[in-house]
Amino acid sequence: MLQKNDTAPDFTLFATPDQKITLSEFKGQNVILAFYPADWSPVCSDQMALYNEMLQFFKKYDAVIFGISVDSKWCHMAFSQSRNLHFPLLADFEPKGEIAKKYGAYNEAEGECGRALFVIDKNGIIQWSYLSPMAINPGADGILEALEKL
């Protein structure tokens, strides 16, 4: 898994069925990447709901957050609407897990993203990363601590 001081690999992924997001477009802002196994799973649902509640705190640090899983753009759209999420979920769908693999956050055995977090600074450099056990919501404390140090 990529670590502090590694350059964050650029990517372009679907955020909605007709909109893509490119990481490099957010240079000049801090970025949080939250890789997670699957929409609709209980732990993932709780984790994304928590980050939705934390958006105001992330914004204080000029940070945007993106959730990333191997689910499709259509699955993300339904999940996001049902949970009333106000940040993009990006589809690392095809080729499956390509971006998660670049970050070292892909679980080959399960065929899904690991539960990995990355805080990327305004220059595109990873300043903090964490791989959580699959069944545990990593929360937001580590993210906030990393943002405070930027």
Residue 18: count other Cβ atoms within 10 Å of its Cβ.
Answer: 7
Catalytic annotation on 44?
A: yes
Residue 22 confidence (pLDDT): 98
Query: Of these residues, 44, 90, 143, 144, which one is catalytic?
Result: 44
Whole-model pTM above 0.95?
Answer: yes
Is 132:46 a contact under the CB 8 Å cutoff? no
- Classified as helix, coil or strand, 145 is helix
- 29-149 under CATH 3.40.30.10, yes or no: yes
C-alpha separations of 113 from 17, 41, 137 in Å: 20, 13, 14
Q: Which of left, alpha, beta for 108 (phi over 0: left; psi -120 to 50: alpha)? A: alpha
Q: What are residue 13's DSSP bridge partners?
A: 21
pLDDT along the chain (150 residues), means of 10: 98 97 98 98 97 98 98 98 98 97 97 98 98 96 97
